[in-house]
Amino acid sequence: MDALRLNVESCWNVGILSTEALNVVITIGFEMTPDARPIESSIRQVTASGGSAGAQQAAFDAGRQAIVSCGINGYGLPQDLYDQWRNVEITFNPARMSNR
């Protein structure tokens, strides 16, 4: 699961976020198909802290875009472990990521 998280985080474009949105920590949940592709209609905000509602929405939108764009060809996860990665939650922390 760490490889999946790192893959998605590498696609997350924090450069487009406002200064306020860079202070938002957001957890996004989603389901995946057996071929390790995200189900777009299942992508949802689980929790968010920091910033205004608009900043939280911007952080969610950027996270959603990362999940979809990185997963367009599937994440290459082992199908025999599908039950372990069928439902995913990833916490995005832009302040931590901008230090990479």
Quick: pLDDT tens for 55-88: 999 999 999 999 999 999 999 999 999 999 999 9
Q: Tell me the CATH number of domain 2-97, given options 2.60.40, 1.10.3470, 3.30.1150, 3.40.50.
A: 3.30.1150
Coil vs helix vs strand at 92: strand
- pTM of the full predicted structure? 0.89
- First vs last Cα of the chain: how many Å apart? 20
Distance CA 31, CA 19 (A): 30
- Structure confidence at residue 9 as a pLDDT band (50, 70, 90): confident
Q: Between the CA atoms of 56, 97, 91 and 79, what dihedral angle is there, to the nearest 10 degrees?
A: 130
